[in-house]
Amino acid sequence: MASVGWNKDIMDVVRVFTVFTQEDAFDAFEGAAVDVATGILEDTPLGVSPGEGGTKGNLRNNWQIGRELNSTVLSGRNKNKGETYAKAKLQGKLRGEKKAGLYVGGQKMVMFNNAPQVNAVEFGEYPNPVKKGTYLKRSKRYEVRSAGGFSKQAPKGMFRLNEQKFSKFFKKRYAIV
Mean pLDDT of 83-111: 82
Residue 47: C-alpha distances to residues 115, 123, 150, 158, 169 (Å): 12, 16, 13, 14, 28
Q: Where are the beta strands (DSSP E) in 12-148?
A: 63-66, 97-99, 102-104, 110-113, 134-136, 141-143, 146-147
Percent of the chain whose pLDDT exceeds 90: 20
Number of H helices, E strands in the chain: 6, 8
- pLDDT, one tens digit per residue, over 12-67 is 666 666 767 878 888 888 999 999 999 999 999 877 655 555 556 788 888 999 88
Q: Using DSSP bridges, classify how beta strands 134-136 and 146-147 pair: parallel, antiparallel or unpaired.
A: unpaired
